[in-house]
Amino acid sequence: MFEVLETSRIVANKSVHVRIDERAVTELCKTWVEEGISVPPWDSVHHFKGVPEDTIAYIFVLDALNFCFWPPPGRPRWEIEYESRRFSGYYALSISLKRAIGSGIPIIKADFLANITLKDLKQVLRGKGELPLLKERVEILRELGQVLLDEYHGEAYRLLEAAEHSAPAFVHLASEKFPSFRDVAKYGCDEVFFYKRAQILASDLYGVFNGAEQGHFIDVDELTAFADYKLPQVLRHLGVLRYKPGLTQKVDHGILLEGGSIEEIEIRANTIWAVELIRQEMEALGRTFRAFEIDGILWNMGQDEAFRAKPYHRTMSIYY
């Protein structure tokens, strides 16, 4: 994903509100080498897996909805209960879809998606509180179902096959066919490419199939980090990302950053470029990781309460 990496590098070099502390990058990598850090395996507990065609359809639906889990001010966090445990955020989404499939709701069928209603989606996501942007999520699922019906005989695996095992080709195809995956911003006069959900879609397909068969991509190493809320939160905790005082105040006080604003773009672009610098430094230290694997390491670190001391930035967006 050359355009994602290159435009993120350009923004990182021009940034006014965010900077990368390269000394912190070096120290982090030394620590990881000393600790023998490893890539977390695919989480088979919280995800559905069935026959390949159904598994691919599930991952498409999962990543079509994989954005914006935080509650608006004064509203309760969305949570679900499953097998006597409570889940929120991404895990609540993945389990909600798994639960729906198990209960006979055809949430992975294109004809159902093309006609899904708000009531249908609320039933799938039932729990405590409410996930934000529900109407937008309904429209995204309808878009997904209709495109699959119109162009791929209703089968998500056919779109995956059309990419011929190329991760960048798959990302570009998903972004072309589904506007909700077209995660591109403007920084001054320049376009900045993120493709967060389209890239994570490729990564998740790689993960669920362990890089084999339908999940085999000949160029998966070209995927970048996935610019979301959690990674910059973790990188800031680690001292890798540093914010100017004005941005610090906004993020720490939960003030919304407008999607496409200079500050928001700089956070996301510096996140991607910081992960690339970590990748390069780890390689120099004799440990080879791909950017999306470093993303997975950081994201899993972010599930630890210790890494939530500094808040994440808040942007109401369908892209992450």
- Cβ(37)–Cβ(255) below 8 Å: no
Q: What DSSP letter does each residue of 32-44 carry, written as one string?
A: HHHHT--PPPP--
Task: State the Cα–Cα distance between residues 25 and 241, nearest whole angstrom.
Answer: 9
Task: State the Cα–Cα distance between residues 6 and 3, nearest whole angstrom.
Answer: 5
Question: Which sequence positions are flagged as catalytic?
Answer: 228
The length of the chain is 320
Q: How many other CB atoms sit within 10 Å of the CB of residue 214?
A: 17
Task: State the Cα–Cα distance between residues 210 and 55, nearest whole angstrom.
Answer: 13
Task: State the Cα–Cα distance between residues 9 and 222, nearest whole angstrom.
Answer: 15
Cα separation values, 195 from 40, 172, 205, Å: 23, 9, 16
- Provide the β-strand partners of residue 87: 80
- Cβ(59)–Cβ(205) below 8 Å: yes
